[in-house]
Amino acid sequence: MFKIRSLVTALALVSSISVASAWETLPTSAPAPADNPTTDEKVELGKMLYHDPRLSSTGTVSCASCHNTMLGGEDNRPNSMGVNGQTGGRSAPTVWNAAFNAVQFWDGRAATLEAQAAGPVTNPIEMGMKSWDDVVARLKTIEGYEVAFETAFGKNSISKDNATKAIAAYERTLITPYSPYDRYVAGDKSALTAQQISGMEKVQSLGCTSCHSGPAFNGPGMFQQFPIHSNPVYAAKYHFKDDKGLAEVTKKESDEHFFKVPTLRNIALTAPYFHNGAVKTLDEAVTVMAKTQLDKELTKAEVADIVAFLNGLTGQFPKQTMPVLPATPGSTFN
């Protein structure tokens, strides 16, 4: 997972340098790992599991509770709410286009979507199950899941491994191509306004694409230090340094305040911003990023242009239909 760690510091050093990069459109499909090829049956099962609150200890929290596929793929809260009203210290990242992340979670502690899907279920603040053995035992009491797992994986196949594979298969379908930006790059020069084109040029000239590069605007999978440039006003107002980021995983002081570079796709829909959800508006987020990462003071006009461009990164969302979850007639799992 941390093979790329040796380049992290280098990334921090070049973060203020403008990088000449080709503008790329978002792929319309995501590659699947060899041990989990995408099938319609897996996707349908994964959608059921993703939306089923019975994977939580209280039966009240599902994956979709914090990663809402009816909107921007998260919950628009500074800190997501789990079982029994508990809240964590981080803002939920969007699930849309998560298939194009090199690592998952703000601290990159999961290398794959499959590994990511396993984590929240047994997190005591999030979904609160004591163990995946308990999850599997619960699923086996629901007849409809026996059928769905058999259809996707074969007989007697209810397991943690298959459940997380199914959820990941569903998440790989959550892709939002054909944004105004994509159409512009593909040749439709009327897809972006003059202001958005100005913002696009400013994003590159400032050096934003040093980190937010590639088709998903999330870089090549590297971590990045945040903040780089200390600012006492923002430090006091937004408490950015309270979270040690990657160091929470590696326990290395040199990794403090490094975070996965988040996607800019659909960013207009995912307020509030940053790992702790401390910044409420996109205008302020752009202003803060320019100062803390690039040590640049932007004019109001420059901020407006960049925000206009970022609004052009909102893609077309594939239609989502809610699954019918397997019932337990005449009984409850509790």
pLDDT one-digit tens code per residue, 187-197: 999 999 999 99
- What is the per-residue pLDDT for 242? 95
C-alpha span between 233 and 255 (Å, rounded)? 24
CATH number of 136's domain: 1.10.760.10
Question: For residue 46, is it within any domain?
Answer: yes
Question: For residue 10, is it within any domain?
Answer: yes
Please report which helix (H) or strand (E) contains residue 183, including its range.
helix 180-185
Question: For residue 237, is it within any domain?
Answer: yes
Residue that terminates a domain, selected from 141, 171, 201: 171
What average pLDDT does the segment 168-182 reach?
A: 98
Q: How far is CA 216 from the centre of its chain?
A: 11
pLDDT in tens, 211-264: 999 999 999 767 999 999 989 999 899 999 999 999 999 999 999 999 999 999
pLDDT in tens, 276-324: 999 999 999 999 999 999 999 999 999 999 999 999 999 999 999 999 9
Question: For residue 261, is it within any domain?
Answer: yes
CB 156 within 8 A of CB 167: no
Question: For residue 110, is it within any domain?
Answer: yes
pLDDT at 273 over 80: yes
- What is the per-residue pLDDT for 221? 65
- What is the per-residue pLDDT for 216? 97
Indicate whether 267 and 203 sit together in one domain.
yes
What average pLDDT does the segment 133-162 reach?
A: 97
Q: DSSP secondary structure string, 26-52?
A: PPSS----TTS---HHHHHHHHHHHT-
What average pLDDT does the segment 70-75 reach?
A: 96
Residue that terminates a domain, selected from 171, 206, 235: 171
| Half-sphere exposure of residue 40: CA atoms within 13 angstroms, side-chain side | 0
Under the banding of pLDDT at 50, 70 and 90, the label for residue 17 is very low
- What is the per-residue pLDDT for 253? 96
Question: Does residue 150 carry a catalytic annotation?
Answer: no
Indicate whether 51 and 22 sit together in one domain.
no
C-alpha span between 215 and 221 (Å, rounded)? 12
Indicate whether 238 and 202 sit together in one domain.
yes
CB 278 within 8 A of CB 238: yes
pLDDT in tens, 89-145: 999 999 999 999 999 999 999 999 999 999 999 999 999 999 999 999 999 999 999
CB 191 within 8 A of CB 181: yes
- What is the per-residue pLDDT for 19? 35
Indicate whether 121 and 200 sit together in one domain.
no
- What is the per-residue pLDDT for 332? 81
Selecting among 74, 126, 284, 302, the annotated active-site residue is 126
- What is the per-residue pLDDT for 82? 97
Question: For residue 227, is it within any domain?
Answer: yes
- How many domains does the chain fold into? 2
Q: Give residue 163's domain range.
A: 40-171
Find, among 320, 329, 208, 194, the residue nearest to 264 by Cα. 208
Indicate whether 165 and 180 sit together in one domain.
no
Under the banding of pLDDT at 50, 70 and 90, the label for residue 331 is confident
- What is the per-residue pLDDT for 7? 35
Residue that terminates a domain, selected from 121, 152, 171: 171
- What is the per-residue pLDDT for 4? 37
Please report which helix (H) or strand (E) contains residue 258, including its range.
strand 258-260
Indicate whether 193 and 249 sit together in one domain.
yes
Indicate whether 46 and 162 sit together in one domain.
yes
C-alpha span between 330 and 65 (Å, rounded)? 26
Please report which helix (H) or strand (E) contains residue 225, including its range.
strand 223-225
Indicate whether 263 and 152 sit together in one domain.
no
Question: For residue 54, is it within any domain?
Answer: yes
Indicate whether 13 and 44 sit together in one domain.
no
CB 51 within 8 A of CB 41: no
- What is the per-residue pLDDT for 230? 86
Indicate whether 20 and 141 sit together in one domain.
no
Tell me what the pLDDT averaged over the chain comes to: 92
Q: Which residue has better confidence, 20 or 58?
A: 58
Question: For residue 331, is it within any domain?
Answer: no
Indicate whether 77 and 194 sit together in one domain.
no
Q: Which range, of 11-15, 70-74, 204-208, 265-269, averages the lowest pLDDT?
A: 11-15
- What is the per-residue pLDDT for 22? 79
Q: DSSP secondary structure string, 160-186?
A: HHHHHHHHHHHHTT------HHHHHHT
Under the banding of pLDDT at 50, 70 and 90, the label for residue 39 is very high
Find, among 95, 274, 265, 81, the residue nearest to 168 by Cα. 95
Indicate whether 193 and 89 sit together in one domain.
no
Tell me how crowded residue 326 is: count the other CB atoms within 10 A of its CB: 16
- What is the per-residue pLDDT for 334? 60
Rounded to two decimals, the pTM is 0.92
